[in-house]
Amino acid sequence: MRRKSIYQRYIPSFSPDDKNTAPSYWFVFNENRMMVCEDNDKTIIPQADKLEELNISPVRTQYLGTLDGHSCYSTEVNPGTLAPEGMVFRDLRSLYLDLDEDIFLLAGKAIQVVNWDSDHQFCGKCGTPTRTMSDEMAKICPECGFISHTRISPAVITAIVKDGKLLMAKHSRTSGDMYGLIAGFVEAGETIEEAVQRETMEEVGLKVKNIQYFGSQPWPFPNSLMLGFTADYESGDIQADGNEIIDAHWFGADELPRLPSKMSIAGELIQWYIENYQNRRYAGKTQNTQKDTKTRRY
C-alpha cells in the first residue's frame, strides 16, 4: 500500500469561498477527543452548514480549505461539552484505523491548528494579543512583529538491514512484546541523515551507511513529522542503551514480531523490507542491500 497525496482531494486555503453551498466538514475537538458520527459500522465526520445546527457552541474556529469541494473547519469546545444525539467524542488516536485515511490526516492537521491557535493567543515575546495572518498559517504580534508558525517536530525512523535481516528494537515505553524500528527526534544543527546516524548509535551502538530517504508521515501526537529512511548496517555490535531501548535483534522476513499498521510509515518500511528480502538467500556477507529505489513513494 502506497498512500496517494492528500492534495488530490484536499485544497488548503485561509479564507472560505462564500459561494460554496456544499455542507461543511467540522473537525470538533473536546481536548484530545474529536466528534464523529458512528453509523452502521462507519465512522464519519459531521457535516453541517453551521456548527450551531448541531447545537454546539465553538470557542474558536479555523478554516482549513476544502476536501472534495466541502469546506473544512477545525474548532474546539469547552471541556465537558456533550456530543449531540447520534455523535460521540472519541480519542483521536483511537480513530486511526476507523476513519478514511485522508480524513484522519486532515483531523491530525485540525487538532494541531486548534492547539496552536489556543497556545498562541498572546505574543511569546511581549505578551500582546496576537492577530492571525490572512495569507499563511501564522500569527503576528501587532506590537513587536514577532511571528509564530504552527510547530512541527521532525523525527527520523529507519529500517536498518544486515545480511538480509531487519533490526527491530523494543522501546521502554511500549508494553508487551511490541518491537519497532529505531526512531527519534531531529536535533537543532544536524541534517536528517545525521539524525539517523546519531539515533542509531545512541540507541543500539551501531554505525549505518547507504542512508536513503523513503517517505514521510505527519503524526499529530502532538506535532511530529516522521521521516522514513532505509539504511545498511556498517559496523558495531548491538548494545541497547537500556534507557529508551531495552532490547534489539536482527529479524529475518519470516520471523518478524508483531507488526504495526501498514498505514503507518513504520508499517510501510517493514513492508518494503519484506517485499525486498523475503525469499532472498544471503551467504553471510553484507551485500549492497539498497535494491528498491524505483518502487519507493514520492
> 119 vs 190, which CB is nearer to Zn ion?
119
Alpha carbon distance 129, 162 (integer Å): 54
Q: Contact between 59 and Zn ion (CB under 5 A)? A: no
Pick the piece of the chain touching Zn ion (CB under 5 A) from 126-134, 193-201, 219-227, 238-246: 126-134
CB of 117 to Zn ion, least distance (A): 17
> 147 vs 152, which CB is nearer to Zn ion?
147
Contact 174, 247 (CB under 8 A): no
Contact 14, 135 (CB under 8 A): yes
Q: What is the DSSP string of 136-199?
A: SSEEE-TTT--EEEPP-EEEEEEEEEETTEEEEEEETTS-TT--B-EEEEPPTT--HHHHHHHH
Helix (H) or strand (E) holding 9: none
Sign of the CA dihedral with 119 first, then 31, 29, and 219 last: positive
Pick the piece of the chain touching Zn ion (CB under 5 A) from 2-10, 73-81, 120-128, 220-228: 120-128
Contact 114, 31 (CB under 8 A): no
User: Which listed residue (146, 213, 250, 282) binds Zn ion by CB under 5 A?
Assistant: 146
> 64 vs 141, which CB is nearer to Zn ion?
141
Pick the piece of the chain touching Zn ion (CB under 5 A) from 96-104, 128-136, 205-213, 285-293: 128-136
DSSP character for 238?
-
> 121 vs 278, which CB is nearer to Zn ion?
121
Q: Contact between 140 and Zn ion (CB under 5 A)? A: no
CB of 115 to Zn ion, least distance (A): 20
Q: Contact between 123 and Zn ion (CB under 5 A)? A: yes
DSSP character for 122?
B
Contact 24, 48 (CB under 8 A): yes
Q: Contact between 143 and Zn ion (CB under 5 A)? A: yes
> 136 vs 255, which CB is nearer to Zn ion?
136
Alpha carbon distance 271, 230 (integer Å): 12
- β-sheet bridge partners, residue 247: 170
Pick the piece of the chain touching Zn ion (CB under 5 A) from 35-43, 119-127, 131-139, 155-163: 119-127
Q: Contact between 139 and Zn ion (CB under 5 A)? A: no
Q: Contact between 147 and Zn ion (CB under 5 A)? A: no
> 132 vs 271, which CB is nearer to Zn ion?
132
> 142 vs 222, which CB is nearer to Zn ion?
142
* Per rule CB under 5 A, count of chain residues that contact Zn ion: 8
Question: What grid cell was written down for 227?
Answer: 521521516
Instruction: From 91, 82, 70, select the one nearest 26 (Cα to Cα).
Output: 70
User: Which listed residue (141, 181, 248, 270) binds Zn ion by CB under 5 A?
Assistant: 141
The number of angstroms, rounded, from the C-alpha of 4 to the middle of its chain's C-alpha atoms is 15
User: Which listed residue (82, 97, 144, 147) binds Zn ion by CB under 5 A?
Assistant: 144
> 148 vs 264, which CB is nearer to Zn ion?
148
Q: What is the DSSP string of 35-60?
A: EEEEETTEEE--EESSGGGGT---SE
CB of 143 to Zn ion, least distance (A): 5
CB of 123 to Zn ion, least distance (A): 3
Residues in contact with Zn ion by CB under 5 A are 123, 125-126, 128, 141, 143-144, 146
